[in-house]
Amino acid sequence: MTASPRIMASLDTLRENQGAAERIRRSDREIDKYWGSVVVEEPVADDLKVLVRADLKRAWYIQRDMEFRERMTIRWASTDYFRILLEDTIGKVEPRKFKYLYNKPTAFYWLQSAQRADASGQRTLTPKIIFAAIYEEWHRCYNAKPNIGYEHFFANPVRITSTGPSTIQGVINAHRYLCAQASSLENRGGGPVDNLIEQLPSSSQHYSLFPLYHAIIVIIDRLDRHNEDCKPESDGFISLRRLAQGQTVLIARTGTEEGLSAPISLEGLKSQSLPLERSDIITQEVDVVRVSLAAAVQFIVSLEVREDLAIPKTKDKLPLDTSLCPFPPPKGFEENNQVCHSPEAWADALMVAAEKYGYDNIPDTWASVRRVQAGLIREGFCELKLLPLAYRWK
């Protein structure tokens, strides 16, 4: 039997061999086969432990991002059970869904004209790729480090049915009703609000309806150049950024601006605006512009940043949203979920478990030590990165 290669415990040895490794370029398949077959030589050197611990902390953040993105994907691209439906002009919503409005700067309304027909011929389908383009642009606006705690996101989707409003003013009116209902429930006190947040493990005090949410909405009323922008580029991938720049949406002020640090103006968007091309809009009555989806995300983010900066900072930092910590405690820490609630504690617990039971016997350290070693010779194995939201999207 051929012995499996052993992971060397010294980084110096690896660095000495780096030149040779660079001369022998391996395919991805060969890399996976090689690193998957190695055996960790113990005791692991201290300098390698330092890198493994840092790698595990990065893994903690990546797993939280993945959990958050999965939740938002379900909310935006799943069935109507997971999203708000607007079936009339008043805007009635199931009580359990009001939590979807909280911690968002705006709402994203899908008019019937921007929905695709399902098997029965009814317009009920909202293309997932639109959400993917929004997510990537939102992520980019925050330099890949957005606040993902307590359901915070760019917007919540609202699908308008065939019996819901079809005009911009009608959507604005319905939005006001939704906000009024949510505010009424929010102001009743702890009990009713706690019931609304019953599926969220964290305290309801960290959920609120932002003043900005009352003031501005985003509406998608058509799928622009959808077939053209969804064509793969020369590398075989569909560019979500190009789609966000080609797809247009409407941004409308609702006229409700109580609680804002300053009035909202759409004048700054006029240079980027396109013809409204809607017969239902009387510009003197409705303040609305048509811009690219990318410009809309950037504008809403800039408004939210403005409002955040205007709020006096308190000494108490918002506690961690532990619902985004889905990973189980390491072996030996099964009775202590707290170790999963910070990257430092989680990495330390994994290192303790690895030292006691072996690095190859703890799944996270098995991957981490190989990922670190592979990276030192410029190879990628079990890389820490968010996968595309769908195959062939970038």
Residue-wise pLDDT for 196-208, tens only, equals 444 444 457 788 9
Tens of pLDDT along 110-119? Answer: 999 999 999 9
Cβ-defined contacts of 333-338 (< 8 Å, 24+)? none
Distance of CA 160 to the CA centre of its chain: 23
Rounded CA separation 345/138 (Å)? 29
Residue 3: per-residue pLDDT: 46
Give me the count of residues in the chain.
Answer: 394
Tell whether the model's pLDDT for residue 144 goes beyond 50: yes
Q: Using CA atoms, how far apart are residues 288 and 8, in angstroms rounded to an integer?
A: 63
> Which residue do the tokens 């330390």 mark?
348
78 pLDDT band (50/70/90 cuts)? Answer: confident
> How many angstroms separate the CA atoms of 157 and 107, rounded?
6
Q: At what angle do helices 343-357 and 363-376 cross, to 10 degrees?
A: 100
**Chain segment 324-367, per-residue pLDDT in tens:** 987 889 999 988 889 999 999 999 999 999 999 999 999 999 99
Instruction: Tell me what percent of the residues of the chain surpass a pLDDT of 90.
Output: 63
Cα dist from 267 to 263, 284, 288, 299, whole Å: 12, 14, 10, 11
Q: Is the pLDDT of residue 261 over 80?
A: yes
Provide the pLDDT for residue 235. 77
The torsion angles phi and psi of 7, rounded to 5 degrees, stand at -70, 125
Tell me the pairing of strands 84-86 and 155-160. parallel
pLDDT category, 217, cuts 50, 70, 90?
A: very high
> CA-CA distance, 299 to 303, in Å (whole number)?
6
- pLDDT of residue 237 exceeding 90, the answer is no
Count of beta carbons in the 10 Å neighbourhood of residue 214? 23
pTM: 0.87
Q: Compute the distance between CA of residue 333 and CA of residue 353 in angstroms, rounded to an integer.
A: 8
Mean pLDDT is lowest, of 78-92, 127-141, 151-165, for 78-92
**Which one has a higher pLDDT value, 78 or 354?**
354
**Most confident listed range (38-47, 224-233, 279-288):** 38-47
H or E segment and range at residue 287:
none
**How far is C-alpha 322 from the geometric centre of its chain's CA atoms?**
16
- Span 254-275, average pLDDT: 95
pLDDT, mean of residues 259-268: 96
Percent of the chain with pLDDT over 70: 87
Span of 19-33, 207-221, 309-323, 363-377 with lowest mean pLDDT: 19-33
Q: Which contacts qualify for 229-232: CB closer than 8 Å, 24 or more apart?
A: 230/129, 232/392
Ramachandran angles phi, psi of 158, nearest 5°: -130, 115
Residues 92-103, mean pLDDT to the nearest whole number: 87
Of 193 and 237, more confident? 237
Q: For residue range 5-48, what is the model confidence (pLDDT) as tens digits?
A: 665 545 555 555 544 555 468 888 999 999 999 898 899 999 99
pLDDT at 189: 53
Segment 225-238 shows an average pLDDT of: 73
- pLDDT at position 269 over 80: yes
Residues 348 and 18: their CA atoms lie apart, in Å, by 29
What is residue 337's predicted lDDT score, i.e. its pLDDT? Answer: 87
Averaged pLDDT, 134-150: 94
Task: Give the up-direction half-sphere exposure of residue 71: CA atoms within 13 A in the CB hemisphere.
Answer: 20
